Amino acid sequence: MKSDMEWDADIPANESRLVLISGLAGSGYSTALTILEDVGFLAVDNLPLALMDNLISIEVETAGKNVAVSIDGRTSGFDIDGLAGLLVDARRRLGGQVSLVYLTADDGELYRRYNATRRPHPLSPQYPGFSLAEAITRDREDMERLEKIADILIDTTRSSPSDFRGILLDKLGIITQDVLSVTVQSFSYRRGVPQDADMVLDMRFLKNPHWEEGLTELTGEDGAVAAFIEKDPAFGPFMDAAMAMLEKTLPRYHQEGRPGFVLATGCTGGRHRSVFAARMLADMLKSRGYSTRLNHREI
């Protein structure tokens, strides 16, 4: 039985949800928004407080979307009391489907992050005489009251992006798929490698059915072409090796928080060898429990 706060990320929740993300500058707002966007939230960065009421009305109450919004000292109209009032109103309208997540990190970690990125602290324009250390201290003092009214507190010090993802989703009660969603796509090298491909398998080493009488006008979805390709002595060992590699790597990609994976198979025309290989790989992955989608770009 799931708690009231739990819902599957790939299944619509019974009620739409609003997650507000705030805390110390540099503690991971953008990473948190990306994580929630990957599991189906509409992610909005630094929305002026005056527009929050419209966003809730249009996107959450009317459209039924799950929405995540980052709010901090840069936000137009930002005020601790105003944000507290917004929380009260949102909870009245949405019930228990509202969460305020407060992100923090120790001073040394924040100092290291800003030095590594060479980006100025958001408070620097307001306090031009402040050093980075002074800006971090002032930000902590300004946000202290907000920390006390947060539903969820997360310290991101020394957290990797994958660790942070697991902690954030767990705190929010969001359950993601146990396996990675994989798209298998065939393509023609003549028209270029798919830009979104995470891994590309070149099938041009196989004998080409295009030059066989009666097979030219067919595709890798036809039985005669499939039989021709399977007779190639290099095909079986290659597919076994490819699956062995995928079985070792896909779970690791999932652990790192990747929302999906695109596996592309290519050949010269994108109609025979790559199509049959994509079909075989998709079926093999599906038989191993992966959520798969098959797409043939050229046919």
Reference 23, options 98, 116, 122; nearest CA is 122
In this structure, the chain runs to a length of: 299
**CB-based contacts of 168, cutoff 8 Å, min separation 6:** 32, 35, 36, 101, 154
Residue 217 lies in a domain: yes
pLDDT at 10: 42
261 forms bridges with which residues in the sheet?
A: 182
The residues, any chain, with a CB within 8 Å of residue 119's CB and separated by 6 or more, are none
Same domain, 59 and 120: yes
* Number of structural domains the chain divides into: 2
Asked if residue 79 belongs to a domain, the reply is yes
Average pLDDT in the chain: 89
Residue with tokens 């079985």: 247
For 217-245, how does the pLDDT look when each residue is reduced to its tens digit (9 = 90+)?
A: 999 999 999 999 999 999 999 999 999 99
| Phi–psi pair at 268, nearest 5 degrees | -60, -55
Q: For a pLDDT cut of 70, what percent of the chain falls above it?
A: 94
| pLDDT band (50, 70, 90) for residue 12 | very low
- Residues 39, 9: contact at Cβ < 8 Å? yes
Q: Side chain identity at 19, as an amino acid letter?
A: V
Phi, psi of 106 (to 5 degrees): -75, 160
Report helix, strand or coil for 81.
helix
Highest mean pLDDT among 67-71, 121-125, 147-151, 200-204: 200-204
Within a 10 A sphere around the Cβ of 30, how many other Cβ atoms? 12
Cβ contacts of residue 275 below 8 Å, gap of 6+? 186, 219, 220, 221, 265, 296, 299
The answer to whether residue 209 scores a pLDDT higher than 50 is yes
Helix, strand or coil, per DSSP, at residue 98: strand
Which tokens is 168 given? 């954030």
Q: Helix, strand, coil % (nearest 5) of the chain?
A: 45, 20, 40
| 34 and 54 assigned to the same domain | yes
| 79 vs 187 pLDDT, higher one | 187
**Does 167 lie in the same domain as 99?**
yes
Same domain, 193 and 64: no
Based on the fold, state whether residues 145 and 241 are members of the same structural domain: no
The span from the CA of 8 to the CA of 12, in Å, is 7
Distance CA 42, CA 36 (A): 8
Answer yes or no: is 1 within a domain: no
Statement to judge: residues 193 and 255 lie in one domain: yes
Q: Which of 175, 197, 213 is the last residue of a domain?
A: 175
208 CB-side CA count, 13 A: 13
- Torsion angle of the four alpha carbons 227, 228, 233, 239, in this order, in degrees rounded to the nearest 10: -60
This prediction has a pTM of: 0.67
For β-strands 260-267 and 199-202, DSSP reports them as parallel
Q: Do 216 and 279 fall into the same domain?
A: yes
Residues 53, 103 share a domain: yes
User: Same domain, yes or no, for 163 and 247?
Assistant: no
Residue 121 located in a structural domain: yes
For residue 114, tell me if it sits in a domain. yes
Lowest mean pLDDT among 44-48, 117-121, 124-128, 246-250: 124-128
- Check whether residue 156 and residue 225 sit in a common domain: no
Q: Does residue 2 sit within a domain?
A: no
Q: What's the confidence (pLDDT) of residue 11?
A: 34
Q: Is the separation of the CB atoms in 66 and 173 below 8 Å? A: no
As a whole-number percent, the residues of the chain with pLDDT over 90 amount to 61
Token pair recorded at residue 127: 């306090």
Same domain, 132 and 166: yes
* Phi-psi region at 77: left, alpha or beta (left = phi > 0; alpha = psi -120 to 50): left
Q: What is the mean pLDDT of residues 115-142?
A: 86
Listed residue (86, 38, 80) closest to 60, CA to CA: 86
* SS3 state at 235: helix
Domain boundary residue among 175, 205, 222?
175
**Interstrand relation of 291-296 and 181-188 (parallel, antiparallel or unpaired):** parallel
Structural domain boundaries enclosing 240: 181-296
In a domain, 104, yes or no: yes
Q: Which residue, 175, 206, 239, sits at the end of a domain?
A: 175
Residue 106, domain CATH: 3.40.50.300
Over residues 88-112, the pLDDT tens digits come to 899 888 888 999 999 999 999 999 9
Whether 175 has a pLDDT exceeding 80, the answer reads: no
Does the residue 281 lie in any domain?
Answer: yes
19 and 88 together in one domain: yes
Q: What is the pLDDT of residues 257-273, one digit of tens each?
A: 777 899 999 999 999 99
Pair of tokens at residue 135:
């800006």
